[in-house]
Structure 1
Amino acid sequence: MYSRALLSLVVASLSAPALADTVWMKNGDRLTGTIKVFDGGKLLLETKYGGSIALDWKQVKTLESDQQLLVKQDAYTGEHAKSLQPAEEGKVTLANGEAPKTVELASIEQILKPKPVVEDLVWKGRIDAALDYKRAEKDTDNYDIGFKTTARHGRWRHTAEGEYNRDTQNDVTTNDNWSAEYALDRFITDKWFWQGRFDYKRDHVEDLQRQRTVGTGPGYQFWDDELGAFSLGSLLNRTDYQYRDGGKDDFYSVALKWDYNRYLIGKRFEFFTNGELGKPLGSVADYSLDAELGLRYKLTDWASLNVKAEKNVISGTQDSDLDKTRYTAGFGVSW
């Protein structure tokens, strides 16, 4: 009898439906899946029938989840809810044992899974690689590897990125350079932020060997959600140039910086462009441009194919101008 009862219990537990989060919409729809994150006015629900669905938060009536979630009603503090329980329209109940708390949906700024150390940490990034080997009358080897990662908690956002490029033809190096950049943003409001950044570039082929830039200035985040992001920043920079013949230039400049990406066709494609257009305050150069534009095709949730074009121009320098265009196609991973 005991064995039979135990077997019946196991079978019943295996046949029971898996727990799922539920979102009720104002138009009467009822959606089930797994709540991944709410940020930037979009609630991302992972479903078996439609993949990742971004829901407009203003159209959500109420919701339910058995996950432990961090619910933030401002940029600094959040409540660690053991579960979310449905409430009347426009509200949700944060269940924490004996002291449940019902809050307005409109008062919630973020919902995310808590991290072990920094609970409200949102970390994302990518690595793209393009490799091309040709063995013919002219042997060519081309490498292009780049990464970008962003971590945000509270009012702070950290961004680090870098790239390495190398081209050879018949054992002659025609392109060999790398760059690295770190930027720290402090959000003053939900949209306005102040940025400080450091950028370093090293070239082993061109006459302009080294570029070092330190800058600071305000920026505006138009949006940053599961469907993409767009920000503009204006910077006052201090830049140092070092040339292969030993010459040096240092100057101040003003610059416009942009960062845009947008997911298309059910997040299958991603269009992106970023860069910086600068104008030196003096006669060192006429202008500088460092930009890229491209398209990614997602193979899985983490893997993608990409094509992109890069443009690097420094016009009107005292020693030598720089004008380089590069096209690449490759493979990338993201998280």
Structure 2
Amino acid sequence: MIDTILNAVPDPLLQIDGLGNIANANEPALIMLGDWILGRSHGTVLRQPALQSRIEAVQSGDATAEARFERSEQSGVTEYKVRITALQADGSRGLLLHFTDVTHLREAEEIRRDFVANVSHELRTPLTAVLGFIETLRGPAKDDPAAQERFLSIMEEEAQRMNRLVSDLLSLSRVEAAERMRPSDVVDLDGLLQASLASLRPRAEETGNTLSLEIDPSATSAASIIGERDQLMQVFLNLTENAIKYGGPDKPVTLRISRGEGRGLMRGPFVQVDVTDQGDGIDGQHLPRLTERFYRVDTHRSREMGGTGLGLAIVKHIVNRHRGRLKITSEKGKGSTFSVLLPAS
């Protein structure tokens, strides 16, 4: 009966007898701690003082208690909330320990805290600049038209920077809210990419960049996909604009459509769009973190170019919503390629 009850629960459960030994454990607990724990003292298995102290409190008479238990694994630290409940059987006082994985709650709190700190930092700098210039315009520069014009121009740039940041924050919020809702419209990918390039071509001509679209022969039958046109347009505008900005002036930017057959989580035919620049490339140590919010390889350069540090985070969430993948490859001195893989319709 006890085995049946313990194994009916998907979370790890341990039964400790009146002598303090582990008398029983369900399958998740054995996977977490190992088969060797059965019959061993709980002090030998659960070597964390805070947890041991709460176990002793229940052994001494408390009905229930809660504690935290952490396990270091290859993927990081997993944190559990442990609920300890007294069991009375055959005149002896045993215990039942229920482990609940709360790692995701801790990670969510860390993300929220970092997000608030980053937003505050990103807004504080332009706000401080604007307030400083206002004070100067009211004081030393009150009767200096040339200084007023210069300061007002800088204030406008800082205000536009704050506006871009707020717009990207709202865009990221909307994308995250809809991330679990799969789009259902049929999108002409070739036409969408042509429209993206057309809208960015005037800007590219200012810096001497050439924009081109190549279609692999394998992709001639993959002109349409299931998606949301506006969001996909945002993805390719963002990636192409980044290629123009960070690839450097007078360099080509190429978009290429190809087709492939996926395995694993992305099983089945997919369409791949590569956005390639011929810039300085990105050091490999930065690649895993490029899609993090506010992460920049070169903070000063990014801000000078009007970047908010949120563009690739938005791209990642949109691609996730379309059940696709974002791959980034780069080599110092040889440019970068941002590849979007989307399920073919």
Superposition TM-score, scaled by structure 2 size: 0.22
Q: Quick check: which one's strand share is greater?
A: 1
More helix by share: 2
